[in-house]
Chain A
Amino acid sequence: MGTLSALLSGLSALLLAEAVSAVAAGSSKFLPYAVGAGLAKYCATVVLSRILLRVGNLERNRSRERLFPLLSEGLRSRGQVGDLLTSADQSGLVATVQSSYASLRLAPLSLLVVFLAGGWLSAGIAATLIAVSIPLYIRAGQNAEKFGDEYETALADLELRELQVLEAGQELRGLGAGSFACDEVAALSEREHSSAMKALRAALHSSLITEFLSGVGIGLVAMVAGFALLGMRTTLLRGLIAVLFTNELFASVQRFGSEFHQSQESEQALKTFSTKRESLKSEVSLPRAIGLVASKGKTPVDLNLRTGSRLLITGPSGSGKSSLLEALLGLRNPLEGTVESGSSAIAYVTPRERLYSGTLRENLDPSGQHGDLTLSEALASVGLPAGRFGSLDARLGPNGEGLSSGELVRFLLARGIVAQASLFVLDDISGLLDPASRKTVEKYFNSNPHLCVVEAAIDSPLLSATSTIKVTP
């Protein structure tokens, strides 16, 4: 595609040269040449870029279809989700980038034309200037990349803060601290922009070099051709061709240069989406941990869960109970030790978990396999009266909001029951339950002794444990 585009621009240059020399000769034949030149330029820019766009779109669509497996790999911050989506978009640029490679490969051909039309001096000037521009260009590109990383960090900081402002919007308002948040966002935005300016400056430096050299190149070749014309050593047509192809030559280098940074990004993006993650077939049904250390300075823990175990993890606030649970579930990388993930379904119940917008049914049965009876039974067994929600088709708010924290944890329990989870991991939920629902939940687990339950609690656990792990801060 790039080859075709380069050939078409070459053709356009040739026809333009013909047209101009016809005008100069006072001939009226220039019009078809000029129109031809215009047509070729149109094809080279508009039509081909559209085709490239289409090819790119196919690639981008393929990447987007692989979003879910990537999203479910672990706890992802929203900034990372944004990056993933941007990567998906970027993977569509691969076609454009490849075409600029192809047009660069045709550069020697342009040089040959310059040589044939303008003689060795013109070709020499063009070749020397390109040879000079390449190392300069590469260095400038490296600088731009360095600043690019700095920019990414600044952007991530800004995203994180803005997200915190969003999540805490009501709290900030409740504390009368809105203007503080505005100042913080503005300051982080300024930092993002100043590093963006640095990266831009570096990137523009690199294009400055090629543009400057191309300007000089065209000027010099025109000069050589001009003197040759004066000395009657060449024809106007040949001179024009030499000048216009010098322009083409530099244009292809420039195009490649401007796509170069994108090329790395888009290739990286493509890699993100094309690597197949191998899902290890698990030998055990429940997760197992040996010598697990989830946060700094803790003693290694062995966790060997069995059907019917009731494990209590206890310790004061901030002692690392949640981290231990997350490591056990493979949601964070342990500092030490190994974790073997189990093959059976696990219900992870934490007040930090969110539901997604949509109906209660979709949230309660994300596999979409179970009937209403099963769902209502599951809700009833954790003491969520059917009347509270009206029907299972009641819709939750945009962030899955609409349930109080106490209801949320019980809803998550019910979701686990529906999915026939054989392990329930409860992260400090007892404080969120009112006495009546606490009893109901206790009753459910007591009447299902085969379930394995891991509970983290500060001092008033929900269940009577068969074994206990104490975590100290």
Chain B
Amino acid sequence: MNIRQRLFKWLRLGRPPLSLVLFAILRSVISNVAAVGLFIAATALLVVSSQNVTLQSIAVFLIVIELVAFIRSPLRFLDRLSAHQLGFAAVQQWRRVVTSWITSWDSSQATKLGHGEILDRALRDTEELQNLWLRTILPGLNALLLLAFSSVILYFIPGGTGPSVLLYLAIVGAGAFVVALATRSLGVAEATVREARGNLRAVATEASRVAASLRLLKSKKVVEDRLAGAVAWLHVVERRREREARIQRLALLLASFGALIVTASHFTPYSLWQTVSVLIGFSAFDLLRQWDAALAGAIALDAAMSRLEELEPVGSEVSGPFPSDAGMYVHDYLVQGIPTTFAIPLGSKVAITGPSGSGKSTLLRAIAGMGVSPSGYITIGGVPISSINNAALREFVTYVPTESNYITGYLGDIVELGRDITRDYVADLKSLGLKWKPDFNLVNPSRGERARLAVVRAMATSPAIIILDEPTSGLGESDTKALLSLLDNCDATVIFATHDPLVVSWCDTAIRL
């Protein structure tokens, strides 16, 4: 996918309202023309004044200039505000898209990237995408319009000829073209810099999690070295990027001087117009700089966009409905090397046991339809789980990993999670010894509280199958008993991974891996 296609893709993904776009473009063009116009008009005024023209024409000039001067800054102000507004509207949309990607990953994709890295992408890269409007499309458009505006003036001023305007256009165009070409190699360098930056952030995030305990342990060399390595890499690629920008600066310099020489040799009998012509040539420098900045923006964005695209969920969505019979079978699953088929009938309570590392969690994720089974296959109501639509599956099957998260905020919000709740979760929590009301604000719940809350949350929509990965590891004996008696009260199939003997003896079946 090239830069252009990618730009369009992301413009489509985060489409701000059309009115916002048109408004921003209009304001940006007006404010830019006003800024250039003021400079040219003020200088031209002086030239006119020195030519002994009438007082009246001078007065008209003055009024025009003062008017432009007065409105120039409010225009700029409005221009920038609406550009930011546009950018922000798009960023919000992009973040929604990226978050929806993150929450539909398969378990294998979820562990592919470090959290620091993903966070960096989900927030900073999307934030940077606002530059798509702010620093790329609007300035690029402006540069082009300014070029058109200058050419028209050059053509219509007395003495202006088609060929000379064409020459001006050719020189500025060639400069813009070379800048665009050089931008490509700069793009590669920029992508590496972003990669190195992301890497440093990931390494630092990781280091911050282990740094405190390694300091206590008084052994930190490996992490320190790794951090130093990430810093060193970033330094090297940053320097390379700076070197790459050289060609652009040279093209910029040559093209703006070329433009200046063409416009300056655009002789006319009127010194006023001659002045305007020179000044237009002079403004080619700013025009090209704007163009350069717009392209550099596009390059920076391309890297950000391709990094974001790596977060897209792999695999396509299937459309199969959830079968009416929720009885489950695990077929040909390798248990200690022997293919084994076992049934998990509706409403049964099943414990999956086995030593650490025997694959309990992997099997649970496969049963939940959130990861590929390492061997064999799983069916619900005779239908392979992989053919059931994810949204439908999630309505009937809930899954809770070992360490439950997403539990700070108001109890009501974090239990309901925007779903249709069918159980009285306050009563359920109470039966587990947590006397919380929906408006209770959870700040930093302990592990045991988290564990109990997670189970209540998984039950709250009355799913047909509840899958729990070591739900009692942070609980004492009495809490575990309370949890089991709560689960006794629901008719769902409950599947545990556990080595708690209390849980195993409570279950109807135990499968040892």
Contacts A34-B278, A57-B238, A415-B217 given; does A68 touch B211 at CB 8 Å: yes
Interface positions of A from 134 to 191, Cβ below 8 Å from B: 158-159, 162-183, 185-186, 189-190
Cβ of A174 and Cβ of B260 under 8 Å apart? no
Q: How far is the CA of A12 from the CA of B408 in the complex (A)?
A: 59
Cβ of B42 and Cβ of A353 under 8 Å apart? no
| B174 adjacent to chain A (CB < 8 Å) | no
Task: Give chain A residues whose Cβ lies under 8 Å from the Cβ of B62.
Answer: 219, 222-223, 226
| B496 adjacent to chain A (CB < 8 Å) | no
Task: Give chain A residues whose Cβ lies under 8 Å from the Cβ of B264.
Answer: 23, 30-31, 34
Q: How far is the CA of A42 from the CA of B249 in the complex (A)?
A: 10
Q: How far is the CA of A127 from the CA of B205 in the complex (A)?
A: 51
Interface SS of chain A: helix
Contacts A166-B122, A223-B62 given; does A68 touch B207 at CB 8 Å: yes
Q: How far is the CA of A182 from the CA of B115 in the complex (A)?
A: 17
Task: Give chain A residues whose Cβ lies under 8 Å from the Cβ of B312.
Answer: none
Most chain A CB inside 10 Å of its own CB: which residue of B49, B84, B95, B285: B49
Cβ of A197 and Cβ of B42 under 8 Å apart? no
Task: Give chain A residues whose Cβ lies under 8 Å from the Cβ of B212.
Answer: 72-76, 331, 348
Nearest residue in A to B475 (C-beta to C-beta)? Answer: A317
Q: How far is the CA of A24 from the CA of B272 in the complex (A)?
A: 7
Q: How far is the CA of A262 from the CA of B163 in the complex (A)?
A: 47
Interface SS of chain B: helix
Nearest residue in B to A432 (C-beta to C-beta)? Answer: B473
Q: How large is the interface on A (under 10, 10 to 19, 20 to 34, 35 or more residues)?
A: 35 or more
Task: Give chain A residues whose Cβ lies under 8 Å from the Cβ of B72.
Answer: 211-212, 215
Contact string, B100-128, partner A, CB cutoff 8 A, digits 1/0? 10111101001111111111101110000
Cβ of B114 and Cβ of A398 under 8 Å apart? yes
Contact string, A3-34, partner B, CB cutoff 8 A, digits 1/0? 00000000000001001100111100011001
Nearest residue in B to A345 (C-beta to C-beta)? Answer: B218
Cβ of B204 and Cβ of A216 under 8 Å apart? no
Cβ of A365 and Cβ of B219 under 8 Å apart? yes
Cβ of A197 and Cβ of B219 under 8 Å apart? no
Cβ of A53 and Cβ of B242 under 8 Å apart? yes
| B430 adjacent to chain A (CB < 8 Å) | no
Q: How far is the CA of A355 from the CA of B365 in the complex (A)?
A: 22
Q: Quick one: which of A162, A186, A222, A344 contacts B119, CB cutoff 8 A?
A: A162
Number of A-B residue pairs with CB-CB distance less than 8 Å in the complex they form = 452
| A379 adjacent to chain B (CB < 8 Å) | no
Task: Give chain B residues whose Cβ lies under 8 Å from the Cβ of A460.
Answer: 476-477
Task: Give chain B residues whose Cβ lies under 8 Å from the Cβ of A240.
Answer: 43, 46
Cβ of A176 and Cβ of B419 under 8 Å apart? yes
Cβ of B400 and Cβ of A171 under 8 Å apart? yes
Q: Quick one: which of B220, B405, B474, B499 contacts A171, CB cutoff 8 A?
A: B405
Cβ of B200 and Cβ of A173 under 8 Å apart? no
Task: Give chain A residues whose Cβ lies under 8 Å from the Cβ of B400.
Answer: 171, 174-175
Cβ of A19 and Cβ of B70 under 8 Å apart? no
Distance from B367 Cβ to chain A, minimum over Cβ atoms (Å): 11
Nearest residue in A to B444 (C-beta to C-beta)? Answer: A323
Q: Quick one: which of B43, B49, B96, B202 contacts A20, CB cutoff 8 A?
A: B43
Cβ of B204 and Cβ of A85 under 8 Å apart? yes
Cβ of B217 and Cβ of A419 under 8 Å apart? yes
Nearest residue in A to B227 (C-beta to C-beta)? Answer: A68
Task: Give chain A residues whose Cβ lies under 8 Å from the Cβ of B454.
Answer: 171
Q: How far is the CA of A168 from the CA of B66 in the complex (A)?
A: 59
Q: Quick one: which of B114, B249, B406 contacts A399, CB cutoff 8 A?
A: B114
Of the listed stretches A99-107, A297-305, A400-408, A446-454, chain B binds A400-408
| A236 adjacent to chain B (CB < 8 Å) | yes
Contacts A166-B122, A345-B216, A416-B217 given; does A354 touch B80 at CB 8 Å: no
Cβ of B220 and Cβ of A182 under 8 Å apart? no
Interface positions of A from 192 to 219, Cβ below 8 Å from B: 193, 196-197, 200-201, 204-205, 207-208, 211-212, 214-216, 218-219
| A388 adjacent to chain B (CB < 8 Å) | yes
Contact string, A448-473, partner B, CB cutoff 8 A, digits 1/0? 00000000001110000000000000
Cβ of A398 and Cβ of B112 under 8 Å apart? yes
Interface positions of A from 216 to 259, Cβ below 8 Å from B: 216, 218-220, 222-223, 225-227, 229-230, 236, 239-240, 243
Task: Give chain A residues whose Cβ lies under 8 Å from the Cβ of B355.
Answer: 434, 436-437
Interface positions of B from 190 to 246, Cβ below 8 Å from A: 200-202, 204-228, 231, 234-235, 238-239, 242
Cβ of A193 and Cβ of B88 under 8 Å apart? yes
| A356 adjacent to chain B (CB < 8 Å) | yes
| B13 adjacent to chain A (CB < 8 Å) | no
Task: Give chain A residues whose Cβ lies under 8 Å from the Cβ of B104.
Answer: 173, 178
| B441 adjacent to chain A (CB < 8 Å) | no
Contact string, A370-394, partner B, CB cutoff 8 A, digits 1/0? 0000000000000000001000000
Cβ of A174 and Cβ of B399 under 8 Å apart? yes
Cβ of A243 and Cβ of B405 under 8 Å apart? no
Contact string, A60-100, partner B, CB cutoff 8 A, digits 1/0? 01001101100111111010111011000000000000000
Interface positions of B from 342 to 370, Cβ below 8 Å from A: 355-357, 360-361, 365, 368, 370
Task: Give chain A residues whose Cβ lies under 8 Å from the Cβ of B426.
Answer: none
Interface positions of B from 126 to 171, Cβ below 8 Å from A: none
Of the listed stretches B19-27, B301-309, B445-453, chain A binds B445-453
Q: Quick one: which of B226, B418, B461, B474 contacts A428, CB cutoff 8 A?
A: B474
Most chain B CB inside 10 Å of its own CB: which residue of A46, A74, A329: A46
Q: Quick one: which of B123, B357, B467 contacts A162, CB cutoff 8 A?
A: B123
Would you give 5 A-B contacts (Cβ < 8 Å), ordered by A? A38-B257, A71-B204, A78-B205, A239-B49, A419-B217
Extra contacts, 9 of them, besides A85-B201, A404-B402 (Cβ < 8 A), are A65-B228, A167-B115, A174-B368, A175-B458, A189-B91, A211-B72, A347-B216, A365-B219, A407-B357
- Going nearest first, the 7 A-B pairs with the smallest beta carbon separation are A317-B448, A176-B394, A174-B399, A180-B418, A367-B219, A178-B103, A72-B211
